[in-house]
A and B are shown apart, each in its own frame.
Chain A
């Protein structure tokens, strides 16, 4: 089951904030966030695990609500470098199959 992301696209000015949401109709064991710039490979942002553990190395925060089967990515004081398409992924039943959503295209303008 593919996670559903919203919004599909968002346009910001530098310094503004944005929230990208990811939800699933199936139980989420973990949520994985990646960013892909145009013409480039996806780059890891963060993994959120059940129990609240987070693993990431970007100055981006996220939340994971296990009961609601939702995750949100918070981009504060956005920079031009934040532009790209953000994908959330969920593992299927604890397997190795990582299923990505359709993505949210973020554009940050000067």
Chain B
């Protein structure tokens, strides 16, 4: 079975631009979470969606937004990019929500570089 797939794998943008990252969860998984991982740090929670509804939001500015589609795939959008947005963006899917029982399956990530 296919795992969590993310696209693009690498991308380079300039300050002020906008970026859209895409994620396809494991078949049958209804929950998708987004994390930002800066080099040398743990993943930081951005959003979590379950059954197309936002269930959690991390401490990120409004420039960050996301949505989940009827087929449970998801997009993360970041507007007005800053140099500090350079990071690995990880998508994770789970069968149920994360609370207490949800094992997360992570994709390989999208590495964003902002120049």
When the two chains form their complex, are residues B58 and A43 in contact, meaning their CB atoms are under 8 A apart? no
**Which residues in window 84-110 of A have CB below 8 A to B?**
87, 89, 91, 94-103
A102 and B42 contact, Cβ closer than 8 Å, known pairs A40-B108, A42-B106, A44-B105: yes
Q: State whether A43 and B106 are in contact (beta carbons under 8 Å apart), knowing that A96-B97, A98-B33, A100-B43 are contacts in the complex.
A: yes
Among the 9-residue stretches B10-18, B44-52, B65-73, B79-87, the one with 4 or more Cβ atoms under 8 Å from chain A is B44-52
Contact indicator A98/B45 (Cβ below 8 Å): yes
**Residue-wise interface mask of A (35-54) relative to B, using a CB-CB cutoff of 8 A (1 in contact, 0 not):** 00000111110010100000
Which residue of B45, B90, B108, B109 is within 8 Å of A99 (Cβ)?
Answer: B45
Count residues of chain A with CB under 8 A from any CB of chain B. 26
- The reply to whether A42 and B41 form a contact with Cβ atoms under 8 Å apart is no
Do B41 and A103 touch (CB < 8 A)? yes
Kindly identify, within residues 62 to 115 of chain B, every residue whose CB is under 8 Å from any CB belonging to chain A. 90, 97-101, 103-109
B4 CB contacts on chain A under 8 angstroms: 41
B8 beta carbon closer than 8 Å to chain A: no
- List the A residue with the shortest CB-CB distance to B3: A41
Q: Which residues of B contact A2 (CB under 8 A)?
A: 42
Cα A34 to Cα B35 with chains together (Å)? 14
In the bound assembly, the distance between CA atoms of A94 and B42 in angstroms comes to: 20
Q: In the complex, A95→B40 CA distance in Å?
A: 26
Q: Is the beta-carbon distance between B109 and A97 smaller than 8 angstroms? A: no
Among A97, A101, A102, point to the contact of B58 (Cβ < 8 A). A97
- Quick one: closest B residue to A50, CB to CB? B100
Assess the B45–A97 pair: CB atoms within 8 A.
yes
B interface residues (Cβ-Cβ under 8 A, vs A): 4, 33, 40-45, 48, 50, 55-58, 90, 97-101, 103-109
16 contacts between A and B (CB under 8 A): A30-B99, A34-B104, A41-B109, A42-B106, A44-B104, A47-B100, A91-B98, A91-B99, A91-B100, A96-B33, A96-B48, A96-B97, A96-B98, A97-B57, A100-B45, A102-B40
